[in-house]
């Protein structure tokens, strides 16, 4: 348990919590908690900030005098929602190495668009064991429920032993030459997964969990020292998550990604690194839903991010915008906001974030927008070409950007709202509607059908359409309702040899499935075809 010690009239301990980081948001092939040693418990202490004494300065409305605490590394101040924070100033003073430092301003970051409690950005304190708080308001009004939270994120044995050498997700795509001879695509950068940095499980984020697309990027920062060590980066991420979840009452960490000064990219909010997961980074729920929030770890009021951090930002933002077919420049509209494709937090709400030097870097000549534009300038692929030709009115927005797959046959895929696009040595084809639904039911490209080999097309019967795949066919049949039926392997070959829908068996009536005795069967209007356990194929007509 964490305590703020020392007797003080009116000081109330409002809560303290200890929790153990858990793995979350993983998928096959990801690094899991078992791959690293267990992280120590994250320790969160919260205490009330009482009203200022009568002798305080006129505009000081709340004050916690200097008090010793257990060791902590991150601090933040929160209050109940609904207070007009215009002009509100929140400052903390920390004790480290036996001495009290100067007052430090915490930027007010009232509403992340997430609900919960309003509050400040957290401040990475390094190693501290004492805190004081001072809150000033030009109106003389004090926010209700003011409290300060101190957080000790703990360390993992792996961090101590390896001095912070991060374990990366090695499944990031490599730059490769594609089957149609087009240039290589923008590869997904290496990302430190949640299970590696010791994330706590999300408490369940409300609707919408994801948007239909990522339209742009909002750049944030975490406040505090810029001289943290490599071994502290994962601790900072854990501490920020603890502050967001335990002090702000959010469902998870607010950012989709965090980038440290060493150029390492950390997965933030759970839900999929390649999906449009709604964060709490912008202060507006609509902007949160349709943008990717990236927080650079440090304070950038007078100094720019390091060269390594800048390069990582280019790779991360370039990957997301490039593979979802967006430019790095220009403006777009979301709700009441008209934003640059790469914007700062201050462009959405009134805040100093991400710091003047970082904000200037976004739009400077040779800055982030220019570098990302150059990074994706030559990005072209058969999938992007096909999507452009089909037009957005047909495809809908990109929900999951273009990525490589190696299951079944190697190739690439993009998931759009109304269809999926696949590119392999067999060609570039879309799978949509009931074909898409049936294809998903049998495992998509890694399932029994393999990759698409043709487009959806008509047959000799107006109520039957089909689409061919590497190892079979999906038949779409219109009766009282329209359904898709997958048939594959020798069974599909025999059905086609018998004349498909115009033959004696007629149109399919059920998806091919395994039956007793390790046999597979497909059903049709006038019979069925069975692949026997020994591999032979039999036809039964009714």
Give pLDDT tens digits for 112-152: 667 889 999 899 988 999 999 999 999 999 999 999 999 99
Residue 2 · residue 16 · CB < 8 Å = yes
* The pLDDT of residue 184: 54
Q: Which of 123, 154, 185 is the last residue of a domain?
A: 154
Q: Which of 325, 344, 376 is the last residue of a domain?
A: 376
Q: What is the mean pLDDT of residues 21-35?
A: 36
CATH number for 359: 3.40.80.10
Residues 369, 412 within the same domain: no
Residue 364 has pLDDT above 90, yes or no: yes
Mean pLDDT of 378-395: 93
% of the chain with per-residue pLDDT over 70: 86
Q: CB–CB of 237/216 below 8 Å?
A: no
More confident residue, 109 or 215: 215
Beta bridge partners of 310: none
Query: Is the Cβ–Cβ distance between 271 and 73 less than 8 Å?
Result: no
C-alpha distances in Å from residue 471, one per residue of 405, 459, 500, 518, 535: 17, 19, 16, 19, 16
55-82 pLDDT, tens digit each: 788 789 999 999 999 999 999 999 999 8
Q: What is the 3-state secondary structure (H, E, C) of 209-233?
A: CECCCCCEEEEEEEEECCCCCHHHH
Q: Are the C-beta atoms of residues 449 and 203 closer than 8 Å to each other?
A: no
Q: Per the domain annotation, does 266 fall within a domain? A: yes
Q: Is residue 189 part of a domain?
A: no
- Residues 345 and 386 placed together within one structural domain of the fold: no
Shared-domain flag, residues 211 and 300: yes
Return the ∠ at Cα 75 (arms to 69 and 81), rounded to 5°. 120
Statement to judge: residues 144 and 227 lie in one domain: no
442 and 530 belong to one structural domain? yes
**Amino acid 208: pLDDT:** 79
User: Kind and range of the H or E element at 44?
Assistant: strand 42-48
How far apart, in whole angstroms, are the C-alpha atoms of residue 237 and residue 21? Answer: 12
pLDDT at 201 over 80: yes
Please indicate, yes or no, whether residues 202 and 299 belong to a single structural domain of this protein: yes
Look at residue 295 in the predicted model and tell me its pLDDT. 93
Asked whether the CA dihedral 274, 277, 279, 285 is positive or negative, the reply is positive
Residue 441 belongs to a domain: yes
Q: Is pLDDT above 70 for 164?
A: no
**3-class DSSP state of 533:** coil
CA 255 to CA 241: how far, in whole Å?
Answer: 9
Please report the pLDDT score of residue 27 as a whole number: 35
Task: Say how far residue 228 (Cα) sits from the centre of its chain.
Answer: 25
pLDDT of 28 strictly over 50: no
Q: Is 393 in the same domain as 505?
A: yes
In a domain, 242, yes or no: yes
Min mean pLDDT across 84-98, 179-193, 344-358, 500-514 is at 179-193
Report in angstroms the alpha-carbon separations of 129 from 19, 105, 432: 20, 18, 59
pLDDT digits (tens, 9 = 90+) for 474-522: 999 999 899 999 999 999 999 999 999 999 999 999 999 999 999 999 9
Shared domain for 347 and 198, answered yes or no, is yes
Describe the strand order of the beta sheet including 482-488 as a list of residue ranges: 457-458, 464-469, 472-478, 482-488
Q: Has residue 131 been placed in a domain?
A: yes
Kindly report whether the peptide bond that precedes residue 208 is cis, defined as omega within 30 degrees of 0.
yes
Lowest mean pLDDT, pick from 7-16, 204-213, 251-260, 403-412: 7-16
Name the nearest CA neighbour of 199 among 263, 268, 249.
268
The contacts of residue 92 (CB under 8 Å, 6+ apart) are 75, 77, 103, 104, 106, 123, 131, 132, 133, 134, 148
Nearest-5° Cα angle at 82, 81 to 88: 90
Quote the pLDDT of residue 346: 83
Least reliable range by pLDDT among 169-183, 464-478, 501-515: 169-183
Higher pLDDT, 484 or 175: 484
Calculate helix-pair angle for 356-363, 368-376, nearest 10 degrees. Answer: 40
Q: What angle do CA 490, 491, 495 make, to 5 degrees?
A: 115
SS3 state at 53: coil
Is residue 183 included in any domain, yes or no? no
Does residue 27 sit in the same domain as residue 98?
A: yes
Same domain for 79 and 150, yes or no, is yes
Contact 99, 66 (CB under 8 A): no
CA dihedral 188, 333, 219, 258 (to 10 degrees): -40
Please indicate, yes or no, if residue 174 is contained in any of the structural domains. Answer: no
Residue range(s) defining the domain that contains residue 50? 13-154
Same domain? For 426 and 506 the reply is yes
Mean per-residue pLDDT, 398-411? 87
Q: Which residues pair with 243 in a beta bridge?
A: none
Cβ of 90: how many Cβ atoms within 10 Å?
A: 27
- Of the listed ranges 31-35, 100-104, 427-431, the least confidently predicted one is 31-35
Asked whether the beta carbons of 372 and 318 are under 8 A apart, the reply is yes
What is the predicted pLDDT for the residue at 39? 57
Question: Phi and psi (nearest 5°) for 319?
Answer: -60, -50
Number of domains composing the chain: 3
Mean pLDDT of the chain: 86
Which helix H or strand E contains 159, and what residues bound it?
helix 157-162
Three-class SS state of 347: helix
106 shares a domain with 140: yes
Last residue of one domain, picked from the residues 376, 407, 429: 376
Q: What is the pLDDT of residues 285-323, one digit of tens each?
A: 888 888 999 999 998 888 899 999 999 999 999 999 999
State the SS3 of 40-68.
CCEEEEEEECCECCCCCCCCEEEEEEEEE
Residue 163 has pLDDT above 90, yes or no: no
Identify the pLDDT of residue 177: 34
Residue-wise DSSP of 71-124 = EEEEEEEEE-TT---TT-EEEEEEEETTEE---EEEPB----SS-S-EEBPPEE
Q: Tell me, what's the pLDDT at 165? A: 47
Q: Is the pLDDT of residue 332 over 50?
A: yes
Q: How far apart are CA 193 and CA 174, in angstroms?
A: 18
Domain membership of residue 372 (yes or no) is: yes
């Amino acid at each position: 348990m964490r305590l703020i010690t020392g007797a003080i009239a009116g000081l109330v301990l409002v809560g303290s919590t200890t929790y153990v980081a858990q793995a979350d948001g993983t998928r096959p092939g990801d690094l899991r908690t078992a791959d690293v040693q267990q992280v120590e418990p994250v320790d969160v202490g919260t205490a009330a900030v009482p009203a200022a004494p009568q002798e305080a300065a006129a505009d000081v409305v709340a004050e916690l005098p200097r008090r010793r605490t257990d060791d902590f590394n991150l601090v933040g101040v929160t209050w109940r929602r609904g207070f007009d924070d215009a002009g509100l100033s929140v400052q903390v003073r920390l004790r480290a190495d036996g001495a009290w430092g100067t007052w430090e301003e915490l930027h007010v970051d009232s509403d992340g668009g997430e609900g919960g409690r309003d509050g400040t950005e957290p401040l990475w304190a390094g190693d501290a064991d004492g805190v004081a708080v001072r809150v000033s308001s030009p109106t003389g009004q004090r926010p209700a429920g003011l409290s300060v939270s101190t957080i000790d994120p703990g360390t993992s044995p792996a961090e101590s032993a390896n001095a912070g050498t991060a374990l990366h997700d090695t499944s990031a795509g490599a730059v490769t030459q594609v089957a149609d001879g087009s240039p290589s695509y923008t590869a997904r950068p290496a990302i430190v997964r949640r299970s590696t940095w010791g994330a706590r499980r999300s408490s369940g984020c409300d609707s919408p969990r994801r948007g239909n697309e990522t339209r742009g990027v909002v750049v944030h920062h975490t406040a505090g020292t810029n001289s943290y060590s490599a071994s502290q980066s994962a601790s900072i991420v854990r501490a920020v998550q603890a502050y967001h979840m335990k002090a702000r009452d959010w469902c998870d960490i607010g950012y989709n990604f965090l980038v440290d000064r060493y150029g390492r990219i950390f997965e933030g909010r759970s839900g999929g690194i390649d999906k449009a997961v709604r964060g709490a980074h912008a202060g507006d729920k609509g902007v949160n839903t349709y943008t990717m929030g990236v927080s650079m770890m440090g304070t950038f009021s007078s100094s720019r991010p390091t060269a390594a951090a800048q390069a990582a930002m280019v790779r991360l933002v370039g990957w997301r915008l490039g593979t979802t077919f967006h430019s790095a420049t220009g403006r777009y509209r979301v709700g009441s906001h008209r934003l640059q494709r790469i914007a700062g937090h201050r462009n959405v709400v009134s805040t100093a974030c991400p710091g003047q030097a970082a904000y200037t870097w976004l739009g400077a000549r040779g800055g982030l927008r220019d570098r990302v534009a150059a990074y994706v300038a030559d990005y072209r692929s058969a999938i992007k070409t096909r999507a452009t030709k089909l037009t957005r009115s047909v495809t809908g927005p990109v929900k999951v950007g273009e990525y490589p797959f190696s299951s079944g046959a190697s190739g690439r895929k993009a998931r759009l709202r109304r269809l999926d696009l696949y590119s392999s040595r067999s060609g570039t084809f879309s799978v949509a509607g009931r074909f898409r639904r049936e294809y998903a039911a049998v495992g998509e490209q890694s399932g029994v059908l393999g990759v698409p080999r043709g487009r959806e097309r008509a047959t000799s019967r107006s109520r039957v359409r089909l689409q061919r795949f590497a190892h079979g066919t999906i038949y779409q049949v219109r009766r009282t309702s329209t359904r898709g039926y997958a048939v594959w392997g020798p069974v599909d070959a025999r059905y086609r040899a018998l004349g498909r829908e115009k033959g004696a068996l007629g149109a399919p009536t059920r998806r091919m499935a395994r039956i007793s005795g390790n046999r597979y069967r497909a059903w049709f209007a006038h019979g069925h075809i069975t692949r026997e356990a020994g591999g032979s194929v039999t036809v039964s007509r009714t």
